[in-house]
Chain A
């Protein structure tokens, strides 16, 4: 009986220590590659006032009643260059629907941004944020990053990374169907 007790204690102690080491290993060395979901999804998009590159002002409130595809980009970002053509095609495909495509330049200087626009012309409006705060209001983690805002001003989806035709079709159709 005493032997069974001793063995059981030894097994329990050994198991507990192994589990502890395993938990600590997971906590310290596991690579968490999952992108945390934006807490803004399903919530009203932060209001903003942007300046377009042709010196006009555009604010989110003036776009109420229209869905907005808000794409954050930088001139030094290679995927941003690659996705411009897909955005142009989507802008053309959805021109008869109430979707507005809007590019927002961040983490850049004006000259580089203008060079980018000249090299990769877009058919939709591009703007920049004079307050340099809008991208943080949207919880941006990098470029390119795109938000899909419905007619009521609610953020339905966020996409991090390079857009292509399929992704833009999928999320734009969800916008039109108002699906979260």
Chain B
């Protein structure tokens, strides 16, 4: 039988352990979110590196600010908008496809498709020409007349 004192100790122990577990999972989830948002931001002072990949002072500051803002309860969108309002769209690792950037996204695909369609057409026409030049001509009126004349001679 567990006496009252022991019951209290067990309760306090369980309370502490559950708090530690809750705090750890909260910290893990914040760190995970910091890492995910960091991947969506380009480090403005590093060539082609995301904030997650960079060890520059500015990238460290970005990560600290993301963490603080997450702890304040801000959403991913609010945090990204904060950085866009300071550094512009170019701070995003995948800038939104709008305005002039839309052309950059669409044009290469459009040109490639156009090129492929033209290439297929070209190959089709070429094969048709080859087919015609190889196929024996059966119902050509002139050739039939020539055959008839040759047969007469025989």
Binding site for B on A (CB under 8 A): 2, 5-6, 9-10, 12-13, 15-17, 19-20, 23-24, 27, 36-40, 107, 132-133, 135-142
The chain A residue with its CB closest to the CB of B85 is: A39
* B116 CB contacts on chain A under 8 angstroms: 13
Q: Is the CB of B65 within 8 A of A10?
A: no
Known contacts A27-B104, A132-B61; is-contact A6 B129 (Cβ 8 Å): yes
Q: Which residue of A has the minimal Cβ distance to B109?
A: A20
Establish whether residues B61 and A135, one from each chain, have CB atoms under 8 Å apart when the complex forms: yes
Instruction: State whether B88 touches A39 (Cβ < 8 A).
Output: yes
> Does A132 contact B108, Cβ atoms closer than 8 Å?
no
Residues of A within 8 Å of B119, CB to CB, are 9, 13, 17
| Cβ–Cβ contact B86 & A137, under 8 A | yes
Question: Shortest beta-carbon distance, B133 to chain A, in Å?
Answer: 11
Q: How many angstroms between the C-alpha atoms of A159 and B127 in the bound complex?
A: 63
Q: Is B112 an interface residue (CB 8 A)?
A: yes
Cβ-defined contact, A136 with B65, below 8 A = yes
Give the CA-CA distance A6 to B44 in the complex, in Å.
Answer: 50
B57 near A20 with CB under 8 A, answer: no
Asked if B148 is at the interface of the complex by the 8 Å CB criterion, the answer is no
Q: Are B112 and A16 in contact (CB under 8 A)?
A: yes
In the A-B complex, list the 9 residue pairs whose CB atoms are closest, starting with the nearest. Answer: A16-B115, A13-B118, A9-B122, A139-B86, A12-B118, A13-B119, A17-B115, A107-B57, A20-B111
Give 20 pairs: A residue, B residue, CB < 8 Å, sorted on A: A6-B122, A9-B118, A9-B119, A9-B121, A10-B122, A13-B115, A13-B116, A13-B118, A13-B121, A16-B111, A16-B112, A23-B108, A36-B87, A36-B90, A38-B88, A39-B88, A40-B85, A132-B61, A136-B86, A141-B58
B64: min CB distance to chain A, Å:
7
Indicate the size class of the contact surface on chain B: 20 to 34
Also in contact, A139 and B122, with CB within 8 A (given A24-B108, A107-B57): no
Interface string of B42-63 (1 = CB under 8 A from A): 0011000000000001100110
Residue of A nearest to B129 (CB): A2
Contact B118 A16 (CB under 8 A): yes
Q: Does B84 touch A at the CB level, under 8 Å? A: yes
Q: Tell whether, in the assembled complex, residue B125 and residue A5 are in contact, meaning their CB atoms are under 8 Å apart.
A: yes
Among A40, A136, A138, A140, find the residue whose CB has the most chain B CB atoms closer than 10 A.
A136
Are B125 and A141 in contact (CB-based, < 8 A)? no
B61 to A136, Cβ gap below 8 A?
Answer: yes
- Report chain B residues within 8 Å CB of A27: 104, 108
Q: How far is the CB of A36 from chain B (nearest CB, A)?
A: 5
A137 to B82, CA, bound (A): 9
Residue numbers in B under 8 Å from A23 (CB-CB): 107-108, 111
Say whether, besides A137-B86, A139-B86, A19 and B121 are in contact (CB < 8 Å). no
